Structure 1
Amino acid sequence: MNPVREQILKASVDKSFHGKIHPVHLSALEQNRFCGDEIQVYFQINNGLIENLSAEVRGCLIVHASWNLLAGSLRGKTLREGHLLCRDLLLHLKEQNSSTALQNTLSVLEAYRAPHARNSCASLPAMAALKALRDLSQSPL
């Protein structure tokens, strides 16, 4: 089996970051209108750090894998670091320049860079997370 496919399959079955958490400080919904995939992300923030995060994912295996890989990379980051990580991942997936190389754990997603047909699947979790992290007005911080 293709090593990238193996990594994606393995990442897609991890349920560590799935379900709804309480309390929720930041949240966002992102949908792919073409295929119906959607993800609702939830963040708990403590002293400016992403303490916990989860999502309700209704989508394909690539959306699940992308969320799990991203969530593992976001936990413990500051809001700014999380914002930059999501932005850089999206820039990489859209084949635009970004300020840094992808973290090792996220590099498997480069297989889905534009113009790959599944690019929107790999991008959806980062789009939702970026939306939540941008909307700090929801946060009690």
Structure 2
Amino acid sequence: MSYHVKDPLALEEQVCFAMVVAARSVLSVYRPLLEPMGLTHPQYLVLLALWQEAPLSVKELSTRLQLDPGTLSPLLKRLEAAGHLTRQRSAEDERQLAVTLTEQGRALRTEALLIPPAVVRRLGLGEAALRDLHTSLTAVIAAAADENGSPA
């Protein structure tokens, strides 16, 4: 299937523009849900990874979140200062920092369980549509990573 538009450089026809605006719009849906928890969206992503599996090394977190360690480090410091996690040198490898949840960080998960259904309600899209969107975005991420020669 070919992609034909009147003006291939029209702003509203650009995939990159639609993705950036969609990302900002979705993050604006999350903001009022996360603020009462004292979290930013990037901090929430860190906690999601740790709720799934902890402890994780900074390198493992960096890979899972697709963030460079220099961007991740300040997030971890703020989450540690808030009492949600700890960073300790790994007993197996002193060069590695092991990141683990505190009791407070684990308890926050219960409150966070309310976020996904609230996001679905606020977006007004059905769960099937959101799953399809997730599948499509994951394919775009993989295709871009393949093109750039970097892991997704």
Q: More helix per residue: 1 or 2?
A: 2
Scaled by the length of structure 1, the TM-score of the pair is 0.24
Scaled by the length of structure 2, the TM-score of the pair is 0.23
Higher Cα Rg, which structure: 2
Higher relative contact order (CA 8 A, sep 6+): 1
Q: More strand per residue: 1 or 2?
A: 1
